[in-house]
């Protein structure tokens, strides 16, 4: 199948990844309570779209390979930095008296502290590269079989790394160890549940892509 279709699909997945990542950063300062019936989770609102980023990197890793997936991860990093810089610039100009959003409201919602920004970016880069590396390690070991295993194992481990890093950088020295531990466990378990659920999504998506591009098991798209 032609390279133009492969490139177009790659751009769609990369766009969805960057959109999800940027949204995570924009809403990260709001903490919410999510009741799933058996347990109520207290998590950052930024965690809600975050599992989607790992699902997309696993899809990219499976069909496009490690190099192109890492390129998307790096693109997401610089896109997030640019968005945060633009938000910072928006804060530097005082709001007009009749502005629907006041200077104080803008600052409260969008002016993240550098500690939060640093935590988010450090955790993001580390966790995504860990996810891609583990995914491809098990892809080689299983010779392209058992997608469910590498999808879940890579995501669950990398999500643990991400949750520990971002929570520790933000709250160590500010909150109690008990509070930090509870936040890490809640955040990680919430991500693990979504990582398990996205197995139901990744199989039909990867199957459809492989069938459309007539790929053999473990074969990757090159364009």
The ranges assigned to domains in the chain are 3-212
Residue 109 has pLDDT above 80, yes or no: no
| 92: region left, alpha or beta (phi > 0 left; psi from -120 to 50 alpha) | alpha
Give pLDDT, residue 175.
78
d(CA 134, CA 118): 24
Instruction: Enumerate residues 6+ apart whose C-beta is below 8 A from 57.
Output: 17, 69, 72, 73, 128, 131, 132, 135
Q: pLDDT: is 129 or 178 the higher one? A: 178
Q: What is the mean pLDDT of residues 158-165?
A: 80
15-19, 86-90, 110-114, 173-177: least confident range: 110-114
As a whole number of Å, the CA-based R_g of the chain is 19
d(CA 12, CA 152): 23
The model's pTM: 0.78
Residue 1 has pLDDT above 70, yes or no: no
Q: What is the mean pLDDT of residues 126-131?
A: 75
Residue 113 has pLDDT above 70, yes or no: no
Give pLDDT, residue 112.
56
Give pLDDT, residue 184.
86
Q: What is the mean pLDDT of residues 169-178?
A: 78
Q: pLDDT: is 146 or 213 the higher one? A: 213
Which uninterrupted H or E stretch holds 43? Answer: strand 40-44
d(CA 185, CA 191): 10
> Which two structure tokens, joined as six digits, stand for 94?
């005082």
Give pLDDT, residue 118.
64
Domain 3-212 has CATH 1.10.1760: yes
On whether the CB atoms of residues 161 and 208 are closer than 8 A, the answer is: no
Write the DSSP string, 131-165: HHHHHHHHHHHTTT--HHHHHHHHHHHHHHHHHHH
> Which two structure tokens, joined as six digits, stand for 168?
């520790």
On whether the CB atoms of residues 48 and 36 are closer than 8 A, the answer is: no
């Amino acid at each position: 199948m032609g390279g133009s279709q492969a490139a177009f699909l790659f751009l769609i997945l990369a766009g969805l990844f960057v959109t999800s990542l940027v949204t995570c950063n924009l809403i990260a300062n709001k903490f919410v309570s999510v009741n799933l019936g058996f347990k109520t989770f207290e998590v950052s609102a930024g965690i809600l779209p975050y599992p989607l980023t790992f699902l997309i990197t696993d899809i990219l890793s499976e069909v496009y390979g490690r190099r192109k997936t890492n390129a998307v991860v790096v693109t997401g990093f610089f896109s997030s930095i640019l968005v945060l810089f633009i938000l910072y610039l928006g804060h530097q100009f005082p709001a007009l008296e009749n502005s629907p959003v006041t200077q104080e409201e803008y600052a409260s919602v969008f002016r993240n502290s550098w500690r939060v920004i640093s935590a988010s970016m450090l955790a993001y880069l580390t966790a995504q590269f860990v996810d891609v590396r583990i995914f491809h390690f098990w892809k080689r070991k299983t010779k392209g079989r058992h997608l469910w295993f590498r999808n879940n194992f890579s995501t669950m481990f990398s999500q643990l790394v991400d949750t520990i890093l971002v929570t520790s950088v933000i709250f160590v020295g500010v909150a109690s160890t008990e509070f930090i531990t509870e936040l890490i466990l809640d955040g990680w378990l919430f991500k693990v549940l979504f990582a398990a659920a996205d197995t139901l999504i990744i199989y039909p998506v990867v199957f459809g892509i492989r069938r459309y591009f007539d790929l053999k098991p473990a074969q990757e798209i090159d364009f």
